Amino acid sequence: MTRKYFGTDGIRGEVGSPQMSADFVLRLGWAAGRVLAPHGGGTVLIGKDTRISGYMFESALEAGLSAAGVNVQLLGPMPTPAIAYLTHTTRAQAGVVISASHNSFQDNGIKFFSAEGRKLDDSIELRIEEEIARPFVTVNSAALGGVRRMEDAAARYIEFCKSSVAEGLSLAGMRLVLDCANGATYRIAPSVFASLGAQVTSIGAQPDGLNINKDCGSTHPQALRKKVLETGAHLGIAFDGDGDRVMMVDHHGELVDGDELLLIIALARIQQHQLHGPVVGTQMSNLGLEQALRAAGIEFHRAKVGDRYVLAMMEEQGSILGGENSGHIICLDRTTTGDGIISALQVLEALRAAGLDLAAMKTGMHKYPQVLVNVKTTERVDLEMPAIRTAVHAVERQLNGRGRVLLRPSGTEPVVRVMVEGEDAVQTHRHAESIAAAVRAAAN
Q: Give the pLDDT score at 8.
A: 80
Q: How far apart are CA 250 and CA 221, in angstroms?
A: 12
- For 366-401, the pLDDT digits (tens) are 899 999 999 998 778 889 999 999 999 999 999 988
CATH topology for the 11-151 domain: Alpha-D-Glucose-1,6-Bisphosphate; Chain A, domain 3 (3.40.120)
CATH architecture of the domain with range 370-443: 2-Layer Sandwich (3.30)
Q: How far apart are CA 316 and CA 388, in angstroms?
A: 34
Residue 290, number of CB atoms within 10 A of its CB: 20
CATH 3.90.550.10 fits 157-364, yes or no: no
Q: Name the DSSP class of 413.
A: S
- For 312-354, the pLDDT digits (tens) are 999 999 999 999 999 999 999 999 999 999 999 999 999 999 9
Q: Please answer whether residues 110 and 80 qualify as being in contact, where contact means their C-beta atoms are separated by less than 8 angstroms.
A: no
Give this prediction's pTM: 0.91
**411 pLDDT tier (thresholds 50, 70, 90):** low
Q: Please answer whether residues 207 and 183 qualify as being in contact, where contact means their C-beta atoms are separated by less than 8 angstroms.
A: yes
Q: How far apart are CA 331 and CA 343, in angstroms?
A: 7
Instruction: Establish how many alpha carbons lie within 13 A of residue 100's alpha carbon, considering only the half-sphere containing its beta carbon.
Output: 23
Q: How far apart are CA 94 and CA 71, in angstroms?
A: 11
Closest-CA residue to 238 (of 156, 152, 176, 157) = 176
Name the average pLDDT for the chain. 95
Q: Where are the domains of the chain?
A: 11-151, 157-364, 370-443
Decide if 101 is catalytic. yes
11-151 and 370-443 in the same fold: no
What are the strands, taking DSSP E only, across 84-166?
94-98, 107-113, 147-149
- For 7-40, the pLDDT digits (tens) are 888 999 999 999 999 999 999 999 999 999 988 8
Q: What average pLDDT score do residues 186-213 get?
A: 98
Judged by average pLDDT, the poorest of 23-27, 285-289, 398-402, 423-427 is 398-402
Task: Check pLDDT > 80 for residue 444.
Answer: no
- For 37-62, the pLDDT digits (tens) are 988 889 999 999 999 999 999 999 99
End-to-end alpha-carbon separation of the chain, Å? 29
In what helix (H) or strand (E) does residue 418 lie, and over which residues does it extend? strand 415-421
Number of H helices, E strands in the chain: 14, 18
Residue from 53, 101, 202, 319 carrying the catalytic annotation: 101
